[in-house]
Structure 1
Amino acid sequence: MLASILSTKVLFRKPGVKRCNIDSLSWPPDPYYTSGLGVLDLVTLLLYVRPWIVIFAIGIGADCRIGSFVGINIGTDISNLPSAVEIVAILRAHSITHVRLFDADARMLNALSNTGIEVMVSVTNEEVTTIGESPSAAADWINKNVAAYVPTTNITAIAVGSEVLTSLPNASAVIVPAMNYLNKALVASNLNYLVKVSTPHSMGIISRPFPPSTATFNATWNSTIYQILQFLKNTNSFYMLNAYPYYEYVKSNGIFPLEYALFKPLPSVKQIVDPNTLFHYSSMFDALVDAAYNSIAALNFSGIPIVVTETGWPWSAGANEPDATAENAETYNKNLIRRVANDTGPPSQPAIPINTYIYELFNEDKRVGPESGRNWGVLFTNGTAVYDIKLSTSESLDANSSVVFCIARPGADETSLQDGLNWACGPGQANCGPIQQGQPCYMPNTLQNHASYAYNDYYQKMRSSGGTCDFRGTGTTTTVDPILEIHCNMPYNLYQYLFFLFVPKPRLWIMQIYRKSEFEHRGGLFPPPAFGPIGPSSGSPQNLVHLGTVFALFAALILSGPCGTHCSIMVN
């Protein structure tokens, strides 16, 4: 029986996630894979005791998902707002895997349970002052709006207010205390390794974002922003940026061409080049993100990734906003999704992809102000699209690449293959982090597999701009999605969903202990797929203590009672 278990192949497929195998689990554990697979191998000895351990064991590994995500903002200032259940059905119909709520509505959080959709909840601007003045109010908010729903609802982040520094300047004194109190409440609930705290900022806090290399924060807020950045650094969180090329284009009064704001190619005479770095900016979106990165660097911080919490384009407006058209909105959002799906960062941070949330799901017709402010939605409330758009990065990549993959040619000369791999990972700028020793896709350690991974990563990014799959004759294209026999493991959000869908809530303790071990020894994991490969786990005694605790809890759980009836998985 054990032999059959060890030869089982478990294959999952999820929108936005590359195919992954756990094939021919073996004993003893692979000595080269230290980020969780050893735990997986050990647990296989217990699989015949409790089938649900398969689900947890898969989750223990590192992530396989290679690439950023595009999420959606869900506003509710709508006359005919669908029910929460209807909204979630629309999200699932459009393969939307990440959402940002502007509050922590109980109906939405309940409807999102057991869906696997990653949720960013928000503290409203009206709540910021109360929470920033009272640790008990922060604890109550966490207990009511986060702890009560995790783990069945996949809450991964809390946005504290929205553009507080520019919209509520009087609240600047309490924004940092509010973030600290909320994080301390998460720590008290053992949720701080699963849920991150940050606050969205507008571009208005950056003085002169062009050229990006000289961008700095407005000195008026430097003290507060410094404290915010210190908090983000200390908690391994991320900087939330609301970046709207539409507004920057309108404000420029013709200085920047419309094509630049819409991600359209520019003729050489119109290309935007930073005179200090000579970086070429093919889109205003990239320039805005880089302006934020350089502003952060100007305060002597680094290693804080940026997530774009709002961006989009209005599709209707008054006569004074002629560029707010459905055609331009479709062009912007389609090109945005393709841009994010390329899994690269802006010129100054090419290795850090840009996770992004489109503003917004539906038009908010009850909003006051200009007509354009009521027409940012990409869907009507019945779920049909305002214009033709696919809201999945994986669908965008597939469409952009015509479902063609690049792999190493079988039987290719190894010297030439190594040269091709070196070029792809070097001048070709392929993301080769996941195939480094200790990373999720390192095993099996064969030149063929590593080259195929690097070739395809390069090809998918560069094909639209002339990149080929030749590699001096060592590459070849295929229309069959290659499932490389490598230890690429499940993405965190999916294993969290699968594990907790079938397992009682107290078993959250196991994940907390293991996540804490990874967080401390690998530099943090939120969110794993978004910010590139993570270094191998430390082999320190402290790490072994954490893993020993995991096994002790495993033993207790094995004896705790029957698995129940919801423990089957698909195998082939």
Structure 2
Amino acid sequence: MTFDIWLQAILLFCGVLFNAEGAFVGINIGTGLSSLPSAADIVAILRAHQITHVRLYDADAHMLNALSNTGIEVMVSVTNQEVLAVGERPSTAAAWINKNVAAYVPSTNITAIAVGSEILTTLPHAAPILLPAMSNLYKALVASNLNFQVKVSTPHSMGVIPRPFPPSTATFNTTWNSTIFQILQFLKNTKSFYMLNAYPYYEYIRSNGIFPLEYALFQPLSAVKQIVDPNTLFHYNSMFDALVDATYSSIAALNMSGIPIVVTETGWPSLGGANEPDATAENAETYNNNLIRRVSNDSGPPSQLNIPINTYIYELFNEDKRSGPVSERNWGIFFTNGTAVYDLSLSVSDSLGANSSTSFCIARQGADESALQDGINWACGQGRADCAAIQQGQPCYMPNTLQNHASYAYNDYYQRMRGSGGTCDFGGSATLTTADPSYGSCRFTGGSNSSTAGLFPPPALGPVGPSSESSRNVVLHFGTVVAVIATLCSVDVNLRNIW
């Protein structure tokens, strides 16, 4: 293997090992307002709140010019009214790309095109033209040499999945199987992503009390309210995660994989009518702040833990021109003068120490011993905690007490699973602390000397037998290569400039 091929392999491996940018939370910008601020004022609000990703519902020239040289990543949209012409005539698609994308890049950082919005569920008669529209736009991007920078996809509502729970058995509505399969094939071939509009608010309302409100708001669930998929035994601590996983399962049911999901719309209304009691500013604040915490953990849902859930909040302003119930006009997080509708921190660094490891989950002093034993059994079983360190002869076995063993098991589960909504509860027998409980050679996951313990645990190499020595050497040599690659990845040098 030549040096340049090795180097390309190293860069690819770096991309797999490390998510350089981390998951993001963006914002949708609707325009159904009586007094829409100027494009310059909107961008000023975005920059003041460190918003790095936006989705436009069109390709407005004023907004695209105002976003120039800001570095903000922009998703533009082909409106539902434009989809038919773009799908029928490649020349129309090429003209659309030239006018709305090529004319602005690279100064305006356009990275994606949303083709229509929920076409399959809102304009089903247009379904046959949806894929041709996406394909025509992609070919136009190729012709402009922009296909590597700009991805093409189309947002779907949860309406395409009639029964999203349990997530493991979810499938797309068979009416659209052929169309969705072709769209998925297109996304895979073009290395794009599935766009999902996921609204726990609506799913909660439709459930008629089957699911608790806390589940929809990312709030901790008591032991009696735990939501578990009976087929996978995955615990779902938020409806958001369950909806994303239901979509992954639906994709898998069509024998497709390797297509990440981006949530293009989610949020919670801050005001509703008399028959919308859950549309409150308090619930909206809780949902969106917890959403930001959830996404910024850089992890996926239980079935896809290694795929972060990039997400766009719906929406920047309340759109008073929208029809329907009161809640339809109250999804905004800002008033048009830039003041917040409710207390919300859009900066990941400000909103939480989502990626810090300063919180540890340990057994509560004085907790009932039967509760501790139950907690250990669950954490080391269904919870998938790594409890090897508390086995006899291992570093954390002593002191041999339920309090000590439960603390280790609870914390290992919490550090591994909090990114997907795992909580520190265990029937009330656990509590959070900022004090590192590590001692001696027993290092708790997340502790100062075990920062990599929960990310890249050392391989569990078995005893060396007559036929295993050679395979162990292969593993160890591979480990050396990985270590070298990881070192190269961490060096602050743009390797791509070498060739």
Q: Which TM-score band (shorter chain)?
A: 0.7 to 0.9
Letter in 2 for 1:151: P
Letter in 2 for 1:131: V
User: Which residue, 285, 293, 296 being the options, matches 1:341?
Assistant: 296
**Following the alignment from structure 1 to structure 2, what is the Cα–Cα distance between the partners of residues 340 and 463?**
13
**Following the alignment from structure 1 to structure 2, what is the Cα–Cα distance between the partners of residues 297 and 162?**
23
Superposed CA deviations along residues 306-326 of structure 1, whole A, max 9, x for unmatched, are 000000000001000000000
Aligned positions of 1:96-175 closer than 5 A: 96-175=51-130
Asked if 1:382 is matched to 2:337, the reply is yes
Superposed CA deviations along residues 90-132 of structure 1, whole A, max 9, x for unmatched, are 0000010000000000010000010110000000000000000
Asked if 1:303 is matched to 2:303, the reply is no
Aligned positions of 1:364-443 closer than 5 A: 364-398=319-353, 404=358
Aligned positions of 1:417-496 closer than 5 A: 465=424, 466=432, 469-470=436-437, 472-473=439-440
Change (3 A) 1:155 1:66: closer
Q: If the length of structure 1 is used for normalisation, what is the TM-score? A: 0.63
CA displacement at 1:396 relative to structure 2: 2.1
CA displacement at 1:238 relative to structure 2: 0.4
Describe the SS at the equivalent of 1:230: helix
CA displacement at 1:86 relative to structure 2: 0.4
Change (3 A) 1:225 1:382: same
Asked if 1:230 is matched to 2:189, the reply is no
User: Which residue, 344, 351, 361 being the options, matches 2:316?
Assistant: 361
Q: Which has the higher contact order (CA 8 A, sep 6+)?
A: 1
**Following the alignment from structure 1 to structure 2, what is the Cα–Cα distance between the partners of residues 360 and 162?**
15
CA displacement at 1:402 relative to structure 2: 8.2
Superposed CA deviations along residues 417-437 of structure 1, whole A, max 9, x for unmatched, are xxxxxxxxx9569xxxxxxxx
Asked if 1:191 is matched to 2:146, the reply is yes
Letter in 2 for 1:220: T
**Is the 1:101–1:119 Cα contact (8 Å) retained in structure 2?**
yes
**Is the 1:401–1:460 Cα contact (8 Å) retained in structure 2?**
no
CA displacement at 1:65 relative to structure 2: 3.0
Aligned residue number for residue 213 of structure 1 = 168
**Is the 1:337–1:393 Cα contact (8 Å) retained in structure 2?**
yes
Change (3 A) 1:115 1:464: farther
**Following the alignment from structure 1 to structure 2, what is the Cα–Cα distance between the partners of residues 405 and 369?**
44
Change (3 A) 1:180 1:469: farther
Superposed CA deviations along residues 245-274 of structure 1, whole A, max 9, x for unmatched, are 000000111111111111111111111111
Aligned residue number for residue 225 of structure 2 = 270
**Following the alignment from structure 2 to structure 1, what is the Cα–Cα distance between the partners of residues 301 and 159?**
20
Superposed CA deviations along residues 286-314 of structure 1, whole A, max 9, x for unmatched, are 11101100000000001100000000000
Letter in 1 for 2:42: I
Aligned residue number for residue 244 of structure 2 = 289
Change (3 A) 1:472 1:233: farther
Aligned positions of 1:310-329 closer than 5 A: 310-329=265-284
Change (3 A) 1:139 1:189: same
**Is the 2:153–2:195 Cα contact (8 Å) retained in structure 1?**
yes
**Following the alignment from structure 2 to structure 1, what is the Cα–Cα distance between the partners of residues 385 and 438?**
12
**Following the alignment from structure 2 to structure 1, what is the Cα–Cα distance between the partners of residues 229 and 417?**
27
Superposed CA deviations along residues 138-163 of structure 1, whole A, max 9, x for unmatched, are 00000111111111111110000000
Aligned residue number for residue 201 of structure 2 = 246
**Following the alignment from structure 2 to structure 1, what is the Cα–Cα distance between the partners of residues 166 and 62?**
44
**Following the alignment from structure 1 to structure 2, what is the Cα–Cα distance between the partners of residues 313 and 276?**
30
**Following the alignment from structure 2 to structure 1, what is the Cα–Cα distance between the partners of residues 417 and 199?**
30
**Following the alignment from structure 2 to structure 1, what is the Cα–Cα distance between the partners of residues 71 and 136?**
27
Superposed CA deviations along residues 365-408 of structure 1, whole A, max 9, x for unmatched, are 0111111000000011111110000112232233x5789599xx
Letter in 2 for 1:211: P
CA displacement at 1:234 relative to structure 2: 0.4
Aligned residue number for residue 467 of structure 2 = none
Identity fraction in percent = 70
CA displacement at 1:205 relative to structure 2: 0.5
Aligned residue number for residue 256 of structure 1 = 211
**Is the 1:341–1:394 Cα contact (8 Å) retained in structure 2?**
no
Change (3 A) 1:308 1:463: closer
**Following the alignment from structure 2 to structure 1, what is the Cα–Cα distance between the partners of residues 211 and 350?**
30
Change (3 A) 1:123 1:149: same
Aligned residue number for residue 135 of structure 2 = 180
Q: Which runs of 5+ in 1 are unaligned?
A: 1-27, 38-59, 407-425, 430-453, 483-532, 538-546, 552-572
CA displacement at 1:470 relative to structure 2: 4.8
Aligned positions of 1:496-507 closer than 5 A: none
CA displacement at 1:35 relative to structure 2: 4.3
Letter in 1 for 2:118: E
Describe the SS at the equivalent of 1:280: coil
Describe the SS at the equivalent of 1:157: strand
**Following the alignment from structure 2 to structure 1, what is the Cα–Cα distance between the partners of residues 137 and 265?**
22
CA displacement at 1:342 relative to structure 2: 1.1
**Following the alignment from structure 2 to structure 1, what is the Cα–Cα distance between the partners of residues 219 and 170?**
24
**Following the alignment from structure 1 to structure 2, what is the Cα–Cα distance between the partners of residues 64 and 281?**
24
Q: Which runs of 5+ in 2 are unaligned?
A: 361-383, 388-411, 425-431, 452-481, 487-495
Change (3 A) 1:83 1:294: same
Describe the SS at the equivalent of 2:346: coil
Change (3 A) 1:325 1:141: same
Give the paired residue count.
393
Change (3 A) 1:327 1:133: same
Superposed CA deviations along residues 424-469 of structure 1, whole A, max 9, x for unmatched, are xx9569xxxxxxxxxxxxxxxxxxxxxxxx9xx8699599734875
